[in-house]
């Protein structure tokens, strides 16, 4: 197994997704292609699918109950007013275009959420504070370096700079979700070859550290990824279950919501490898309660 393969772990989350695709009647080759398109090594993807389905069928054949994440009641989630199918929406201080909408998974692409000058300002403010990106460790409630995430990043406090406050207010206005129910902006830089392999943004209720995490703001319900530059090649935000790849275009943003912490939301997503140049993004996570 090569270095790239050894860094790709077959997680319980990935196994649950593979089982869900199989039970939905998806063609195995289509599932493998979706994984490959999202950055998974072909051999790792094949091993994950074969091993997961073998165990799943064996458990079924033995008459054992196959554990699946519990399907919880749907929560109210952030959502723009698209009742009249508008081409643009007013974000409080600027017009934002509605580039694309998808019902399942719930994905909306906004155009022109930030100006070029605002993108440059966020990059300049963040760059001196970058370090290796970490992910939330849901077993402990802390954070850790994860081989599946090969970017550099940093966090701003909510409203830390005027440009942060403007972007946060625009998001709140667009999605009709209070500013205080959002985390601070995270700025990420992906160099050539850097990626974030497919994952979910909600906190898995089955993990031991999740109750500790939820004490501060509750569950995550939505994500906004704002592109601060346009890479020369690569770097799309991918949704494997929908066969969707959102190109990173400077000033644009992709929003997706998940009304319960469950693979049924179909919000498995990833950041495809940057092929040429670099990619800068600002990520905003929206919570069900006040995040202080």
Domain ranges of the chain: 3-61, 88-287
Per-residue model confidence (pLDDT) at position 237 = 98
**Rounded Cα distance, 169 and 176, in Å:** 10
Higher pLDDT, 39 or 240: 240
Per-residue model confidence (pLDDT) at position 4 = 42
Per-residue model confidence (pLDDT) at position 44 = 82
Per-residue model confidence (pLDDT) at position 80 = 98
Higher pLDDT, 54 or 129: 129
- Strand order through the sheet with 131-132: 88-90, 95-102, 106-111, 253-257, 220-227, 279-287, 186-190, 152-155, 131-132
Q: Which CATH architecture has domain 88-287?
A: Sandwich (2.60)
Would the pLDDT of 6 be above 70? no
Higher pLDDT, 6 or 193: 193
Would the pLDDT of 108 be above 80? yes
Higher pLDDT, 271 or 6: 271
Higher pLDDT, 38 or 108: 108
**Rounded Cα distance, 286 and 276, in Å:** 31
Per-residue model confidence (pLDDT) at position 3 = 34
Mean pLDDT, the chain, rounded, equals 87
Judge contact between 166 and 257, C-beta under 8 A.
Answer: no
**Rounded Cα distance, 100 and 291, in Å:** 29
Diameter of the chain measured on Cα atoms: 61
Of 286, 281, 274, whose CA–CA distance to 114 is shortest?
281
> pLDDT tens digit string along 242-267?
999 999 999 999 999 999 999 999 99
Between helix 28-37 and helix 42-61 the angle, nearest 10°, is 140
Tokens 């393969």 label which residue?
A: 5
> Which residues fall within 8 angstroms of residue 80, CB to CB, at 6 or more apart?
89, 98, 108, 174, 175, 176, 255
Per-residue model confidence (pLDDT) at position 24 = 67
Higher pLDDT, 137 or 182: 182
Per-residue model confidence (pLDDT) at position 61 = 62
Judge contact between 279 and 172, C-beta under 8 A.
Answer: no
Per-residue model confidence (pLDDT) at position 62 = 60
Judge contact between 272 and 38, C-beta under 8 A.
Answer: yes
pLDDT band at 81 (very low <50, low <70, confident <90, very high): very high
């Amino acid at each position: 197994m090569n270095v790239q393969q050894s860094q790709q772990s077959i997680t319980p989350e990935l196994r649950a997704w593979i089982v869900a695709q199989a039970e939905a009647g998806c063609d195995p080759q289509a599932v493998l292609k979706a994984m490959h398109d999202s950055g998974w090594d072909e051999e790792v993807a094949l091993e994950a699918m074969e091993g997961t389905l073998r165990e799943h069928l064996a458990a079924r054949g033995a008459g054992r109950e196959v554990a699946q994440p519990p399907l919880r009641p749907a929560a109210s989630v952030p959502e723009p007013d698209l009742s009249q199918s508008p081409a643009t929406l007013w974000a409080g201080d600027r017009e934002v275009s509605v580039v694309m909408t998808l019902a399942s998974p719930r994905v909306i692409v906004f155009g022109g959420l930030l100006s070029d000058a605002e993108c440059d300002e966020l990059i300049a403010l963040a760059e001196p504070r970058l370090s290796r990106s970490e992910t939330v460790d849901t077993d402990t409630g802390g954070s850790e370096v994860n081989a599946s995430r090969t970017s550099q990043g940093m966090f701003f406090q909510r409203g830390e700079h005027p440009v942060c406050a403007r972007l946060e207010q625009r998001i709140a206005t667009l999605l009709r979700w209070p500013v205080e129910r959002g985390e601070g902006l995270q700025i990420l830089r992906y160099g050539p070859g850097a990626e974030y392999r497919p994952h979910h943004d909600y906190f898995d209720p089955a993990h031991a550290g999740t109750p500790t995490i939820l004490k501060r703001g509750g569950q995550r319900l939505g994500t906004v990824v704002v592109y601060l530059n346009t890479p020369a090649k690569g770097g799309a935000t991918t949704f494997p279950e929908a066969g969707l790849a959102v190109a990173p275009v400077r000033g644009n943003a992709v929003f997706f919501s998940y009304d319960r912490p469950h693979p049924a939301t179909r919000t498995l997503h990833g950041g495809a490898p940057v092929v040429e140049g670099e990619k800068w993004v600002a990520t905003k996570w929206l919570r069900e309660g006040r995040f202080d």
